Amino acid sequence: MELIRKEAKTIKGDKIRTWNFHTRASPPARRDVSTGSPNLQQQTPVGFQDDWEKIIDRLRGDSSELDIITIVGMAGIGKTTLAKRAYNHPSVVYRFDVRAWTTISQEYRERDTLLDLFYSVVPPANGSNQESDKEAADRLYGRLMTQPSKETYEGRNQEIADRLYKSLKGKRFLIVIDDIWSTDAWDNVSMLLPDDNNKSRVILTSRLIDVATYANANPDRQPHRLSFLNKDEGWELLREKLFGKRGCPFELEVIGKSIAEKCQGLPLAIVVVAGHLSKMSKTPDSWNTVAESVGSVVNCEPGQCLDILALSYNYLPQHLKACFLYMGAFPEDFEIPVWKLIRLWVAEGFLNATGHTTVEDIAEECLEDLIDRSLVLAGKRSNGKLKTCKVHDIMRDFCVEEAKRQNFLHVLKHSLDVLSESITALRRVSINCSTIFSSYSIQPTDSTVSVSRSILGFNISESSVFSYIDFKLLRVLDITFQHFPQFPSEIMQLVNLRYLAVATDSEFPPLVSQFWSLQTLILHLCSRSSTLPWEIWTMPNLRHLHVKPSICLPSPTKVECNRYSSLVLNNLQTFANITLADCTKDVFSSTPKLKKLGICESTEYTYPVQIPWSDFLYTSEKLWPYASDTISDLWLDCFRNLDLLPQLEALKIFGLKPPVILMHFQRILRN
C-alpha cells in the first residue's frame, strides 16, 4: 500500500506540473515569504539562553570556513523562534553582507526555495535601480511559463540557481534553512552556497537529528538539541503572552503557574493555551477550568498545535506509525520501560526480523529512530543502553486521538468510558482509569464475536474484577493490576496469546504448553516456592520469561519429558529471575540463545550484614567463617556453567549483600 501511495503521488505531481505548463502564461505569484524577513519587533525572549549564546558565538566566530549551525528539537519547542532571534540580532545584521531565509517544510519544492533566496539575494537585473528584485525574478520565471516543456522548466531552474550562486560568491552571507526534513533537500540547497572562507554562516532547523548531523559533518560541532522550558521559564512565557510588561494579578498567579507546568515546557502548547486564556475572563474560576483540561484546550484549537505535531507523524514510514501510535496506550507522565515496550511491539506484529538481525534489535533501532525524529523522549540510560522513555503529554494526546480515529487503539480514561464502550468491538484497549465496576464484565454475548487483539491495564485498583472469556483472538493481555488467588481458567482458553502478564498466588498450570504462540510471559508471584511446570520446555516460541521475585525451574531431563526428542528453548533470550540452585548444566544447555539472565538468591541463608563495605575490602578473609560453603559451591558451579551461554550479554544478581557477592567471586577466582 505504501508503494502504491507513492506511485499515485508521483502521477498526481506529474499531472499538476503539466497543467501548470499549459495553463499558466503569467509568472507565478510569489508565495508568502514573511518568514524571509522575520519581524524585528519581538517580545522579550524566554529560555534557551545557553543555546542562544552558543549560536551567537558561532555566528560571530573567527572560523573562516562556512559553518553550518544546526538546531534540533520536537515540533513547537522553539527552533524557528531561536533562529529568528539570531537572524535579527543587531550584531549579526551588521556582520553579514547578505541575509536570506527560506522555509523548506515536509515536501521540498525547488522552485519555492529558489524564489525565497533569489528575492533576498539577487540584485536588480543589469544593475538598474528601476527594476525591483521581484520583477527580475518574475521576468525569468515568466519566460519559463511560456515554454511548457519539462526540459525548459529544469533549465530555467538551473538558470536561477546559477544567478543565485554568483550573487552569493565573494559575499559574507547568513542563510537560514528552516524546517528541513530530508538529506536530499539539504544536498540541493547546499549546492547553492559557495564556501569562500569568508566567515559565511548557515542556520539549519530540523525535527530530525539525522538530517542535522548530515548537514553539519564536523564531529566537533554537535547539533543544538533544544530541551523543554523549566517551570519558571514556562510561567514567564505564559505571563508575558497574556500580560506583557504588566504584572499578573495576584489571585491568578498560582493557577497560572499550574497551567504553565501542565504544558510541560513546550512553548507551542504554552502559546496556544495563552491564546485561549486571552479570550476568557481573567477570573480564578475561568482559569481553573483551563487548568483541569490543558490537553483538551490544546487539542481543540484548530490549525495550531495538533496540526503542527501531525506533520511529524505523517512523515513516518508505515511501520513506525504503528509503533508511535501504540505509545498512547501508556498513561500520562509514565516512564515506559524499554524492554516492555519492545516486547509489546513484537507481540503485536508491527516489526519483522531480517537476516540475522532479531526483531528485538530492529525494535530498538525503531525506538532510537523515533527519538531522533523528536517524537519520543529518551529517559534513563545504563551502560549506553536506553532503559526508559517517555512521550510528552501533548504528543501523547495526539497519539490517543489519532489512534482512536483510525480504530487502532482506544484508551479508556474513566469508568463511564468502560460502561459506554463495547470493548469486544475495539481492536486494542488500554484501560487507564482507577476503578472498574465489579459488576461490569467484558464477556461478549453469544451473538457477538470479539475482535479484540490487545487488553492492557494501568492505574487500576486491585478490587476491580474482570472476566476474560471467549476472547479467542486476543494476542496481548497485561493484567498485573488484578491479583488472582488462583490462576484464572478463562485465560487458558486464549490460545493465540503472544504476550501475557498476570499476578497470581497459585502455581502456573501445566496446560501452559497450549500457548503455542506465546513469546513473552510475565508472572508476579507472592510465593517464593513456586515452580514452573515442566511443560514450559515445550514452548518453542517463548522468547522472554520474567518472574518476580523468582521461580524454580524443573530440569529438562526429568522422566516426564523423555517422550520428547528435544527440550531446547532455542528462542529464549531473557530469563529473569531464576534461582541459584537451577543454574545447572542441563538448564543452560537447553537455553543456548539466552542474552539476559537474572539470578535471585534464596533468602533462606543468613549472611553477615553488619560489616561495612570498606572493612570487607581489606578483611574479607575474616568473613569466610560466616559464609556457607554450600552456597559458594553453587556459585562456583553456576559461573562455570555460564560457558554454555555464548550469547549472554547481561547478568543480574539479586538477593545478596555486596560483601557476600565479592566473597563468592574471590573464591571462584581462586578456584
Task: Based on the fold, state whether residues 76 and 202 are members of the same structural domain.
Answer: yes
Task: Based on the fold, state whether residues 68 and 204 are members of the same structural domain.
Answer: yes
Please state, rounded to an integer, the average pLDDT across all residues of the chain: 78
What average pLDDT does this structure show over 250-275? 90
295 within domain boundaries:
yes
Q: Which of 220-224, 304-308, 404-408, 445-449 has the lowest mean pLDDT?
A: 445-449
Q: Which of 86-90, 197-201, 214-218 has the lowest mean pLDDT?
A: 214-218
Residue 455 has pLDDT above 50, yes or no: yes
Q: Name the band, by pLDDT with cuts 50, 70 and 90, for residue 235.
A: very high
Tally the domains of the chain: 3
301 within domain boundaries:
yes
Looking at residue 41, its pLDDT comes to: 38
Residue 627 has pLDDT above 50, yes or no: no
Among 344, 360, 394, residue at a domain's last position: 394
CB 347 within 8 A of CB 329: no
Q: Which of 127-136, 207-216, 294-303, 652-661 has the lowest mean pLDDT?
A: 127-136
Task: Based on the fold, state whether residues 107 and 183 are members of the same structural domain.
Answer: yes
Task: Based on the fold, state whether residues 53 and 199 are members of the same structural domain.
Answer: yes
Q: Which of 386-395, 578-587, 640-649, 652-661 has the lowest mean pLDDT?
A: 652-661
Crossing angle, helix 250-262 and helix 231-243, to 10 degrees? 120
Task: Based on the fold, state whether residues 310 and 243 are members of the same structural domain.
Answer: yes
Secondary structure of residue 603 in the 3-state scheme:
coil
Looking at residue 39, its pLDDT comes to: 42
Task: Based on the fold, state whether residues 324 and 311 are members of the same structural domain.
Answer: no
Q: Which of 334-348, 392-406, 503-517 has the lowest mean pLDDT?
A: 503-517
Among 280, 315, 350, residue at a domain's last position: 315
Task: Based on the fold, state whether residues 210 and 289 are members of the same structural domain.
Answer: no
502 or 610, which is more confident? Answer: 502
Could you tell me the CATH number of the domain that includes residue 389? Answer: 1.10.10.10
Residue 17 has pLDDT above 80, yes or no: no
What average pLDDT does this structure show over 153-181? 88
Residue 631 has pLDDT above 90, yes or no: no
CA angle 273, 277, 279 (to 5 degrees): 125
Task: Based on the fold, state whether residues 103 and 187 are members of the same structural domain.
Answer: yes
Residue 440 has pLDDT above 50, yes or no: no
Residue 25 has pLDDT above 60, yes or no: no
Residue 497 has pLDDT above 60, yes or no: yes
What average pLDDT does this structure show over 330-358? 90
Residue 457 has pLDDT above 50, yes or no: yes
Please tell me the distance from the alpha carbon of residue 662 to that of residue 20, in angstroms, as a whole number: 77
Please tell me the distance from the alpha carbon of residue 355 to that of residue 46, in angstroms, as a whole number: 49
- Residue 309's contacts (CB-CB under 8 Å, 6 or more residues apart) are 75, 76, 394, 395, 398
Looking at residue 626, its pLDDT comes to: 42
Secondary structure of residue 406 in the 3-state scheme:
coil
DSSP β-bridge partners for residue 316: none
Please tell me the distance from the alpha carbon of residue 341 to that of residue 389, in angstroms, as a whole number: 9
CB 55 within 8 A of CB 82: yes
Task: Based on the fold, state whether residues 325 and 383 are members of the same structural domain.
Answer: yes
Domain span at residue 221 reads 48-125+137-142+156-225
* Ramachandran bin of 638, using left for φ above 0, alpha for ψ from -120 to 50, beta for the remaining angles: alpha
C-alpha cell at 568: 531446547
420 within domain boundaries:
no
Could you tell me the CATH number of the domain that includes residue 176? Answer: 3.40.50.300
115 within domain boundaries:
yes
Among 315, 333, 357, residue at a domain's last position: 315
43 within domain boundaries:
no
Could you tell me the CATH number of the domain that includes residue 251? Answer: 1.10.8
Q: Name the band, by pLDDT with cuts 50, 70 and 90, for residue 579.
A: confident
C-alpha cell at 660: 557476600
238 or 662, which is more confident? Answer: 238
Residue 573: CB atoms within 10 A of its CB come to 20
Secondary structure of residue 604 in the 3-state scheme:
coil
Looking at residue 468, its pLDDT comes to: 55
Task: Based on the fold, state whether residues 211 and 72 are members of the same structural domain.
Answer: yes
Please tell me the distance from the alpha carbon of residue 325 to that of residue 373, in angstroms, as a whole number: 14
Residue 326 has pLDDT above 90, yes or no: yes
Please tell me the distance from the alpha carbon of residue 365 to that of residue 139, in angstroms, as a whole number: 49
The reply to whether omega before 126 is within 30° of 0 (cis) is no
Looking at residue 328, its pLDDT comes to: 93
pTM: 0.79
Task: Based on the fold, state whether residues 262 and 184 are members of the same structural domain.
Answer: no
pLDDT in tens, 67-117: 999 999 998 899 999 999 999 999 999 999 999 999 998 888 888 888 889
Query: Which among 622, 611, 621 has a CA at the least distance from the CA of 657?
Result: 611
Task: Based on the fold, state whether residues 90 and 61 are members of the same structural domain.
Answer: yes
Q: Name the band, by pLDDT with cuts 50, 70 and 90, for residue 304.
A: low
Looking at residue 602, its pLDDT comes to: 57
Alpha carbon dihedral 55, 59, 62, 63, in 10-degree steps, equals 90
* Bridge-based pairing state of the strands 173-180 and 98-105: parallel
413 within domain boundaries:
no
Looking at residue 475, its pLDDT comes to: 92
637 within domain boundaries:
no
Please tell me the distance from the alpha carbon of residue 544 to that of residue 171, in angstroms, as a whole number: 61
Q: Percent of the chain at pLDDT above 90? A: 32
- DSSP secondary structure, 242-282, as one string: HHTTSPPPHHHHHHHHHHHHHTTT-HHHHHHHHHHHHTS--
657 within domain boundaries:
no
